[in-house]
Every structure is written in C-alpha cells, then in structure tokens.
Amino acid sequence: MSRKRVAVLISGRGSNMAALIEAAKDSSYPAEIALVLSNREDAGGLLVAIAAGIATEVVEHTQFGTDRAGFEGALQATLEKHHIEIVCLAGFMRLLTAEFVGRWQGRILNIHPALLPAFKGLDTHKRALEAGAKVHGATVHFVVPEMDSGPIIAQGAVSILAGDTEEVLAARVLKVEHRIYPLALKLVAEGRVRVENGHCLVDGVRVPDAGAAVPSA
C-alpha cells in the first residue's frame, strides 16, 4: 500500500510535528510527512522540518487581514500543490471555517492537550489543576467545524500529582501527545478508523471518550 501524503500544520515550536516526522522515518509507517505548513514564518518548527529534509511552506494569515476565505484558499492551494491526502493540525493556532473543514472531512486531525470532552479551548492544564481533576491527558480527534469537538481517535491519560504546576503537568501531557499522535495517524492512514454517529470505531470497536468522566467545572 502506498504511504499517505500528510501535511502537518503548525504555528509554533512543532514538537508534535517532530514526533510525526520521527514516526514516519520508519518505512513501514503508513504515512509520509510530505509538507510542513505554517501560518507564521517565525514558527520554530519550520527549522526542525527543514533540518529533517521536509518541504515547508508559509501562508501568513496576516497577509489576508479579515479575508478568511482568501487565507483558506491559499492553504488549500498549497495542500493541493503538494498532493496532500491527510492534514494534521499540530499547534496550529487558527480556527478553520466549516467550508474548509468540510472539504477535508475524515482526513483532518487535531491534537488537543486534554481528555476531551473535558477542557476544550485554551489553558487546559491550568484549568484541570483548578478543577481538582485527578486525571488529565491528550486527545487526537477528527476536526469538525465546532472547536475541539470531533470524533475521538485516540486518547492518553496521565495522573495529576500533588504539587503539580502547570508546567510540570504540561510536560507530562506532552510526552503522551508525542505517543498518541503518531498512533492515531497510523490508524487513519491504514484506513482502520470509521466514524459512526459522531464516534470513531477502530477496527470496528468504538473508541471510549475517557474525558467524559473528568470533572471540568
């Protein structure tokens, strides 16, 4: 089976991007990272991608002002130019419109630093600590127009320990992110993930949403 051509979209340091690049170095991995695309030319991850010999592109959202269609049109053209089949958002800090997301339905993934559906949005580690949660973690999910709400492909949990600071917890979760993103992309690239009634089935077995049990008040 030919390897799927993947674009990783970043805005920052790109450690999840690096984890995907690392996984894809194995020739038996079912996807290749064909492109790293950033909306910021100063994203640190671009240098990491260049050093790894991966094609990079920058589409700066600021060039488009309030013209979101223009920005997304440029994103789409760049993805098409590189014959991309799957898109992985990895710390990509722009919300995408329903039109763009719809075009990539079932082929666009995101990683979120919490056990969804708990703690959607920003500052997840701080909020988990403030809520007194005992478990926390990360989620890879398909992207849908509503933020952090798509079908869950894979999750990884960590314990929250006494004395944890936001930074310590973030580092513990990040290690999990770097494990589950390559795993989730592998499952999708191998065609083993199906969405039924808003939930993912992997090899026909429904993925449980671990975060449903996390207090997130």
**What is the distance of C-alpha 109 from the center of its chain?**
5
Residue 104 Cβ vs ligand GRF, minimum distance, rounded to whole Å: 17
Residues 138 and 114 sit within 8 Å (Cβ to Cβ): yes
The residue among 34 and 36 lying less far from ligand GRF, judged by its C-beta, is 36
Name the strand (E) or helix (H) holding 51: helix 44-51
Candidate list 4, 40, 61, 112; residue touching ligand GRF; CB under 6 A = 112
Active-site residue 112, yes or no?
yes
Q: Is 177 in the site for ligand GRF (CB under 6 A)?
A: yes
Residue nearest to ligand GRF (CB): 91
* CB nearer ligand GRF, residue 46 or residue 188: 46
**Is residue 143 within 8 Å of residue 119, measured between CB atoms?**
no
Beta carbon of residue 138, minimum distance to ligand GRF (angstroms, whole number): 6
CA–CA separation, 139 and 43 (whole Å): 23
Q: How far is the CB of 1 from ligand GRF (least distance, A)?
A: 27
What is the smallest separation between the CB atom of 46 and ligand GRF, expressed in angstroms?
11
Question: What type of residue sits at position 177?
Answer: E
Does 150 sit near ligand GRF (CB under 6 A)? Answer: no
Give 65's contacts (C-beta < 8 A, 6+ positions apart).
Answer: none
- Supply 143's token pair: 């992207």
CA distance 142 to 150: 5
Binding residue count for ligand GRF, defined by CB under 6 A = 13
Interacting residues toward ligand GRF by CB under 6 A: 10, 12-17, 90-91, 111-113, 177
